């Protein structure tokens, strides 16, 4: 994908850079409308080689297709990353149980609920998705912005697998996180 690769490499991210991302969001919406069903059957859309096929076309999204993710991959790093899951911060922010648990505590504290151990993997997983959104976009934003690239979903599921092998899509996850 062209967008995001050239112009912003070594510049600090400015708030108005999100405008670029809105183009991507529009692309996602158009794609959803056109029902690009082919995405569910072959992985030509994946540039990072880490994405798996997902059950819906809109979830079949590579990290290289999201402007803010591409910027994150290029920003201030010596080597260009092939995939956002290789970013050194990804492991801390989106996978580390201490960080995810602390984010859960903060959320429960705001709601004045007590967090009860043991925390199910599903709760960790949904919070990890949310962590990714905050990390990459600096905010929650529109629902469509919360589509998590398939490579990231796969890595988070690997870390916090489902007991019964069942996973909810990002839309359902969104309601629970
Ligand atoms: Zn990919
Ligand atoms: Zn990727």
Q: Where are the domains of the chain?
A: 15-176
Instruction: Write the DSSP assignment of 22-88 as a string of letters.
Output: HHHHHHHHHHHHHT-GGGGT--TT-SSS-PPP-SSGGG---GGG-HHHHHHHHTT-SSPPSSGGGSH
Distance 108 CA to ligand 2 centre (A): 31
**Residues 6 or more apart in contact with residue 22 via CB below 8 angstroms:** none
Q: What are 76-118's pLDDT values in tens digits? A: 777 789 999 999 999 999 999 999 999 999 988 888 788 888 9
Distance 48 CA to ligand 2 centre (A): 5
Distance 71 CA to ligand 1 centre (A): 15
| pTM, entire model | 0.76
Instruction: Compute the distance between CA of residue 114 and CA of residue 124 in angstroms, rounded to an integer.
Output: 16
Q: What are 105-151's pLDDT values in tens digits? A: 998 888 878 888 899 999 999 999 999 999 999 887 766 557 899 99
- Ligand sitting nearest the alpha carbon of 153: 2
Distance 119 CA to ligand 2 centre (A): 28
Nearest to 85 by CA among 14, 144, 135: 135
* Structure tokens, 79: 């080597």
């Amino acid at each position: 994908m062209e967008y995001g690769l050239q112009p912003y490499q070594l510049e600090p991210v400015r708030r108005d850079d999100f405008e670029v991302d809105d183009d991507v969001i529009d692309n996602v919406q158009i794609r959803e409308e056109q029902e690009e069903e082919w995405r569910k059957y072959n992985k030509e859309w994946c540039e990072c080689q880490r994405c798996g096929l997902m059950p819906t076309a809109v979830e079949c999204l590579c990290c290289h297709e999201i402007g803010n993710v591409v910027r994150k991959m290029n920003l201030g790093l010596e080597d260009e990353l092939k995939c956002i899951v290789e970013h050194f911060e990804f492991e801390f922010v989106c996978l580390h149980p201490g960080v995810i648990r602390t984010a859960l505590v903060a959320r429960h504290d705001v709601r004045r609920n007590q967090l009860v151990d043991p925390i199910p993997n599903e709760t960790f997983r949904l919070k990890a998705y949310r962590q990714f959104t905050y990390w990459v976009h600096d905010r929650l934003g529109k629902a469509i912005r919360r589509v998590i690239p398939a490579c990231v979903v796969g890595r988070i599921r690997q870390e916090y697998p489902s007991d019964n092998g069942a996973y909810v899509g990002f839309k359902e996850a969104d309601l629970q996180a």
